[in-house]
Amino acid sequence: MNSPFPGMNPYLENPVFWSEVHHRLIAVIADEIEPNIPSQYRVAIEQRTYLSDEEDSILVGIPDVTIFSQQSNQKEHSSTTTQVSTTDGVTVTIPIPENVTESYLEIREIDTGFVVTTIEILSPKNKRAGEGRKAYERKRKQVLASLTHLVEIDLLRSGRQMSLLGEVPATDYRIVVSQSETRPQAKLYGFSVREKIPTFVLPLQSGDRRVILDLQPLLNRIYLRARFYLTIDYNQEPIPPLKAEDKAWADTILQGTRD
C-alpha cells in the first residue's frame, strides 16, 4: 500500500517512527547517489555523538507526585507538598543525560579525503533548544566556513528552523542547498505538506556532471519497505497535528484508509 500523501507523509514525523525514517533515509540516499556520482568520489555515512543536557534528557520513571497532582485538586496538592517531611529523605526523579548519535552523509574525494558535500537530515533534537541544536549548529558553522557544500533537509514541521538571513517564506518543510562558491547565497526549496518534495541538483565540484536528487520516490520506498502502512493509525491525528486547513485536506485524502 502506497503512502496516501503526495509529498511528505506527516504521520512519519511522529517520534515513534521518525528515528527509523531518519536511519533508513540516510542509507537509501547513500545507495541512490552512489552509482551517479563520479568515480573519484565515495559516499560515507558519518556519525555525530554528543551527551544531551537536561533539556533533552530522559527521565527514569514517573514521580508519584506528578500522578497525584494530575488527579487531585489544588488544595490537596498544596497540602501534600507542604506537609511532606524530608527528614528521612524523599524519593525524587532526576534527568539522566542521553548519549545521542546522529548520522549524516559525506561525499569525499577518494584520493585526498576532502569532503566535497555534506548532507544533513535534521532531527527533532536539532530543532529545539538544547545540546542537540548546539552540536548541529557547531557542525553547520564549520561546514559553512569551509569549501564543503551543505545540503540541509528538514522534513519536520515542529521546532525552530535553522537560521537564514533576510525574509524567508514560511513553509512546512524545506531543503537548503549551500554551494561553497556562492555563499552567503544558497538555494531554498520550501514546500508544504500538500506538495511533492522538490528535486534538486546535488552540488559537487566544478566540471562534474549534474546529479539530481529526488527524495520523493526514496521516501515512498521507505514507507513500503518498512511497512508503515501496517503500523500507522490513520484514524488518529498526526503528531504534531496539522493546521486546520491542512487537516481538512488530509481528512479528504484519508477517507479511503480510515475505518
Mean pLDDT by 10 residues, the chain (259 residues): 96 96 97 96 90 55 35 44 68 81 94 97 93 93 97 97 93 98 96 98 95 98 97 96 96 83
DSSP category for residue 240: S
d(CA 193, CA 156): 10
- 240 and 133 in one domain? yes
- 143 and 86 in one domain? no
- 204 and 79 in one domain? no
- 71 and 190 in one domain? no
- 156 and 142 in one domain? yes
Identify any residues that bridge with 41 across adjacent strands, giving them in sequence order.
109
- 172 and 90 in one domain? no
206: Cβ contacts below 8 Å, ≥ 6 apart: 181
- 144 and 180 in one domain? yes
Domain encompassing residue 151:
10-57+99-256
Residue 1 in grid coordinates: 500500500
Specify if 250 maps to a domain.
yes
Specify if 2 maps to a domain.
no
- 242 and 155 in one domain? yes
pTM: 0.83
* Structure confidence at residue 62 (pLDDT): 32
d(CA 258, CA 205): 48
* Structure confidence at residue 53 (pLDDT): 66
Residue 58 in grid coordinates: 530522559
Half-sphere exposure of 253 (CA within 13 A, CB side): 17
